[in-house]
Chain A
Amino acid sequence: MTPLFFQDVRLLDPASGLDAVGGLLVEAGRIADLGAHLDAAPDGAAVIDGAGLCLAPGLIDMRVRLGEPGEEHKETFETLSAAAGRGGVAVVIGLPNTDPPIDDASVVEFVARRAREVKGVKIYVYAAASRGFDGKRLTEIGLLKRAGALAFTDGDHAIADAQMMRRVLSYASGFDALIIQHAEEPALTAGAVATEGEIATRLGLPAGPAAAEAILLERDMRLVELTGARYHAAHLSTGAAVEELASAKRKGLDVSADTAPAYFALNETEILGYRTFAKLTPPLRAESDRRAVVRALRDGVIDIIASDHWGQDQEAKRLPFVQAEPGIVGLETMLPLALELYHKGEIDLLDLLAKMTCNPARLLDLPSGVLTVGAPADLVLFDLDRPTLIDVARFASKSKNSPFDGRPVQGVVMATLVDGRFVYDGRDG
């Protein structure tokens, strides 16, 4: 493999705080050298002119629906990998909500083999915390972790029963395994497709209270305290839940959270007109909650941004709102939507990138997400300021369900590399 040299590029490494123009050398799939001092390409290296561009660690998207096995008509590993590459994402971690579910070591191994075949971005998975997501029987957390599962979650099913959650946390703590929870009290949200309030009322849609999120999260924080387990709350969407998390962090509990762009870029008004592309789980919230999520990102209470990518085909979305499937495709829009927060002056650039690079890497113990000599050359080259319109017609994802179609944004991915290999190269177009 010919060495690659990124020349005259703005190096952004959130882990070390590096923000300087310089060079970065890739050799044998790893970062061989980098820094402001590096201004000339070594002999024999292929030179990439980075003038006016940024080079950051390839993004790590910790919450993605795979589609494979079981829903190949919505997403395959090939389309998923292509979409990730276009989005600047070098590493994706898939939810276990496949068919069959990832609750057995053989399915973890199947995914690893398919990911190797595709030779695209890095694809890891979580495994289910309960068998078949039944919320009753523990999965083989020890054996699954050994097989490569990065953490344990029932995906978009909350682990509702308190005794079960306690056992999951307790058992997982014996293996230092991370538990990821979809924090919504299902007894309060059964059948709900929207957040309780004026909009759901006027639309006549079944709705659940926003408090369902804080209620389950608060209970979980008590159980984390009881068990000493590692806990991560997925796609937090309400101010009340953010407060619970902040308070748990102040107590010193080993807890973290992510949110998805929809929860800081949209609010519940998006579902007006019964727009099923804006149907999500948890549902879009009030504007005050959206603002609270932005504040939590800025203050570091929410550690991570994940795309919550969930491809749905036309048939799954062209239905009455209640019957339509939830989810939006997010891999290709995560970076520009996150950069809105930077361009609006809400969050510093490095802090923002940390939430998609070194923070998830640290949480999941991955070697990626940093610009460090010796680290894998998982990189994203992007134009920070270039304006563009989100255009679902250009998505590589097999599904096109995005409420962001036509949204003007700033920030364009020019290239994505995984282990020094281009998985996306859009420098000509």
Chain B
Amino acid sequence: MMMPAASQLSSPHLLGIEGLSPAEIELLLDLSEHYVKMNRSGNKKSDVLRGRTIINVFFEASTRTRTSFELAGKRLGADVINISPEVSAVRKGETLLDTALTLDAMHADLLVVRHPESGAVQLIAEKVRCAVVNGGDGAHEHPTQALLDALAIRRRLGRLHGLVVAICGDILHSRVARSNMLLLKTMGADVRVVAPPTLMPADIDRYGVSVFHDLAEGVRDADIVMMLRLQQERMRGSYVPSIAEYFHFYGLDRAKLAGAKPDALIMHPGPMNRGVEIDSDVADDINRSLIQEQVEMGVAVRMACLDLLTRDLSTNQGTGQ
């Protein structure tokens, strides 16, 4: 597929996959490849972000995403600090925007923001002068997760176009699903979503995806089976009746996977609930599971995002007192 090559992103922020062109996605993935190589080499450190300040602002608990962003920033030579406003200023009554402006005044070059409310990251991006990367907002978007998933797929199968990808599980509450649907559809994949009706958002087919309520049917002839995490509090009768029933009908095991392509790959954004949405037998199959590779790709993809978003950024002068 021919597309105009991009050398930079059209937006100063990465708030979502929505709005990214195929060329921009290719650019991010290609640059990520470069960082995969670097991360696997002896010298993992570069200085492209030397002198830059990155602040990871996580309003919602996270270990793997925050660590991944932190490592990405540090490997590029930036100064990285982590703050969790949920346990500091916000408790003291500071508003979201006050927190953002405070950080901006400290001359940060880039904020990585995760927030439990959809749209909160965009709200911050509108108020600050530095670049903002969405580290996950509510049930809206988690763009770096979709990019790392795409990178893991592309490295294994050589393409995204024309692949059959089944995204399975709690679609309703999942920002990972939304970002992945957008990215995979943009890149020409054939995307399916599989969930019990109580965990399927309304009009989901408007994403151009096909909707299934039966896991075995949904994964039939799939190249990729992407499982989503089911939050514990959603299993106790309000959305699904029990863990036992969920695993029986929507947990990925060998039997349900049988109809997928013989070499179909399994993905999961982590952390996994073994015995809830995925059987260990499948999750740990080194021939089919991309789960460890996804984690590795995460660091490289975030390096590419930080790199691209700070390239043309003039030093943040700020107006702090």
Contacts and interface: CB of A to CB of B under 8 A. Distances in A.
A binds B: yes
Interface stretch (A168-176, A279-287, A335-343, A358-366): A168-176
Contacts of A171: 196-198, 239-241
A131 B237 contact: yes
Contacts of B238: 136-138, 167
Interface string B191-206: 0000011100000000
B272 to A, nearest CB: 22
A408 interface: no
B224 to A, nearest CB: 23
A227 B202 CA distance: 10
Given A131-B237, A136-B237, A174 B245 contact: no
A174 B237 contact: no
Given A142-B248, A174-B213, A227 B241 contact: no
A141 B240 CA distance: 9
Contacts of B244: 140, 143
Contacts of A174: 196-198, 213-214
Contact of B248 (A139, A143, A170): A143
Contacts of A131: 237, 241
Interface string B138-178: 00000000000000000000000000000000000000000
B236 interface: yes
Given A167-B198, A170-B198, A174-B196, A142 B249 contact: yes
A142 B214 CA distance: 11
Given A140-B245, A142-B249, A143-B248, A227 B197 contact: yes
B242 interface: yes
What band does the interface of chain B fall in when counting residues whose beta carbon is under 8 Å from A? Answer: 10 to 19
A141 B250 CA distance: 13
Given A142-B248, A174-B213, A137 B241 contact: yes
A138 B237 contact: yes
A199 B172 CA distance: 51
A138 B197 contact: no
Nearest to A166: B198
A141 B239 CA distance: 12
Interface in A124-141: 130-131, 136-141
A131 B241 CA distance: 9
Contacts of B239: 138, 167, 171
A328 B50 CA distance: 84
A227 B249 CA distance: 20
Contacts of B213: 173-174
B243 to A, nearest CB: 10
Given A131-B237, A174-B213, A140 B242 contact: yes
B242 A170 contact: no
Dominant secondary structure at the A interface: helix
B237 A143 contact: no
Interface residues of A, number: 16
A140 B236 CA distance: 11
A141 B249 CA distance: 11
B301 to A, nearest CB: 34
Nearest to A170: B197
A137 B243 CA distance: 13
Interface in A330-353: none
B285 to A, nearest CB: 26
A264 to B, nearest CB: 36
A173 B239 CA distance: 13
The interface centre, meaning the residue of A131, A136, A141, A174 with most chain B CB atoms within 10 A of its CB, is A174
The interface centre, meaning the residue of A130, A131, A137, A171 with most chain B CB atoms within 10 A of its CB, is A171
Interface string B10-26: 00000000000000000
Nearest to A174: B213
A141 B245 CA distance: 8
Contacts of B240: 138, 171
B236 A142 contact: no
Nearest to A131: B237
A140 B245 CA distance: 6
Interface in B231-266: 236-242, 244-245, 248-249
A142 B198 CA distance: 13
Contacts of A143: 244-245, 248
A138 B198 CA distance: 11
Nearest to A146: B248
A140 B198 contact: no
Contacts of A170: 197-198
A143 B236 CA distance: 15
Contacts of B214: 174
Contacts of A139: 241
B183 to A, nearest CB: 27
A425 B197 CA distance: 48
Interface in A141-163: 141-143
A137 B240 CA distance: 9
A137 B239 CA distance: 9
A119 to B, nearest CB: 32
B253 to A, nearest CB: 15
A141 B198 contact: no
B3 to A, nearest CB: 39
A137 B238 CA distance: 6
Nearest to A134: B237
A139 B238 CA distance: 10
A170 B248 CA distance: 18
A140 to B, nearest CB: 4
A137 B198 contact: no
A174 B248 CA distance: 14
A170 B245 CA distance: 16
A137 B236 contact: yes
A143 B197 CA distance: 16
A173 B242 contact: no
Contacts of B198: 167, 170-171, 174
B250 to A, nearest CB: 9
Contacts of A140: 241-242, 244-245
B294 to A, nearest CB: 28
A137 B245 CA distance: 13
20 contacts: A136-B238, A137-B237, A137-B241, A138-B239, A138-B240, A139-B241, A140-B241, A140-B242, A140-B244, A140-B245, A141-B241, A142-B248, A143-B245, A167-B238, A167-B239, A171-B197, A173-B197, A173-B213, A174-B196, A174-B197
Q: Which 6 A-B pairs have the closest CB atoms?
A: A137-B237, A138-B241, A174-B213, A140-B245, A170-B197, A140-B241
Interface of B: 196-198, 213-214, 236-242, 244-245, 248-249
Given A137-B236, A140-B244, A167-B239, 4 more contacts: A137-B241, A139-B241, A143-B248, A170-B198
